[in-house]
Amino acid sequence: MPAADLDAFDRAILTELQRNNLTPQRLIAERVNLSAPAVQRRIKRLHEEGVIAANVAVLEPAKVGQTLTAVITVQLVNDRPDLSRGFRARIAGETAVQQCYYVTGETDYVLVVTAADMEDYQAITRRLFEGDDNIRRYSTSIALERVKAGQQVPLRA
């Protein structure tokens, strides 16, 4: 997917929206030195082009009972698309999986998973891995402390 053609105004608007996407457009306009209608048009275009993928609320996991974060590495027997399709579908359908990356190296996938507790974590791993003969192994690291978490994408000129 090619990168979008973003000018300095687009990057400034996106920076403001990444800080707080509820910021009124008139305030964004003041901060980036554009009119409010120009900011509105640009935001609409950025949505239409898929640069802005979603407008979401970022929750504090512990405040909603998700006190455990696990980083799981998964090694497949064979990573052929036809053999990994079911695994990918389970990952896509599992809300506990916060992030999933297909990676290079000894493992094939890295997952970031949130759970209420160890019992919940075990239920999640059963849903994701049990009965899939293409899963060679998986390994879990439990996060002891969240040092940084975010979705903000750095914007370069």
Q: Please list the residues that pair with 72 across neighbouring strands.
A: 111, 140
33 and 99, same domain (yes or no):
no
pLDDT at 157: 65
Write out pLDDT tens, residues 65-88.
999 999 999 999 998 999 999 999
Q: What angle do CA 81, 84, 90 make, to 5 degrees?
A: 130
User: Does 103 lie in the same domain as 128?
Assistant: yes
> Is residue 148 in a domain?
no
Q: Is residue 154 part of a domain?
A: no
- Mark whether 38 and 102 lie in a shared domain: no
pLDDT given for residue 124 in this prediction: 98
CA 111 to chain centre: 10
Residue 2 has pLDDT above 70, yes or no: no
Is there a domain that residue 91 lies in?
A: yes
**Residue 155 lies inside a defined structural domain of this protein:** no
In a domain, 76, yes or no: yes
Structural domain for 24, as ranges: 8-48
State whether 77 and 111 are in the same domain. yes
Task: Name the one residue in this structure whose structure tokens are 């305030």.
Answer: 27
What is the number of domains present in the chain?
A: 2
- Looking at the fold, whether 87 and 124 belong to one and the same domain comes out as yes
Q: Are residues 37 and 100 in the same domain?
A: no
pLDDT digits over 99-125, tens only?
999 999 999 999 999 999 999 999 999
Rounded distance between C-alpha atoms, residue 63 and residue 67, angstroms: 8
- Domain of 104, CATH number, reads 3.30.70.920
Q: Do 44 and 78 fall into the same domain? A: no
